[in-house]
Amino acid sequence: MSLVQGFLTRIQKYVDKGVILSIPSAKSGSRLSHFLNGLFQMMNSSEACFVSMAVYFDRLLRTHNSLISESNMIRLIFISGVLAIKMQEDFSCKNSYFAQISGIPNHEINYLELNFLQWIEYRLVINPEEYQNYYKSLISIKS
């Protein structure tokens, strides 16, 4: 199973448990799938970035799951991806670039990034064991 499919399955499990408000239609699920595939491509298919993004998103869910709904989930996943790129890549783009490619205004990217960091208590370091556990879980998730 691909990392993207593993992440989608993980999101669906959160929806089933009521942690994330339900994604009501197949169209929304398809949009999320398309978005995640695009995000993975933006990360230059970097497994490290994608796994880090999943870790950061889960950290947000553990501390502030009431923040996440269908209307803001993609933005929060995107910001966790931006943070993953900034932590994993030697060269990272400015937020103005991320705003340009995402359609999210630059000031909103800045706001989301700052708040996301506060919500996860600036915990961006991922130890090797945690990384391996997430990687294995994402590629082995069964629907």
pLDDT at 116 over 90: yes
Residue 25's pLDDT is what?
A: 54
The domain that holds 102 is classified in CATH as 1.10.472.10
What pLDDT score does 84 carry?
Answer: 92
| Residue pLDDT, tens place only, 93-103 | 888 988 888 88
pLDDT band at 23; cut points 50, 70, 90 = low
Query: The domain containing residue 14 runs over which residues?
Result: 3-140
Count up the domains in the chain and report the number.
Answer: 1
Of the listed ranges 6-10, 37-41, 51-55, 127-131, the least confidently predicted one is: 37-41
Burial (CB count <10 Å: 0-12, 13-18, 19+), residue 122: exposed
- Enter the pTM of the model: 0.83
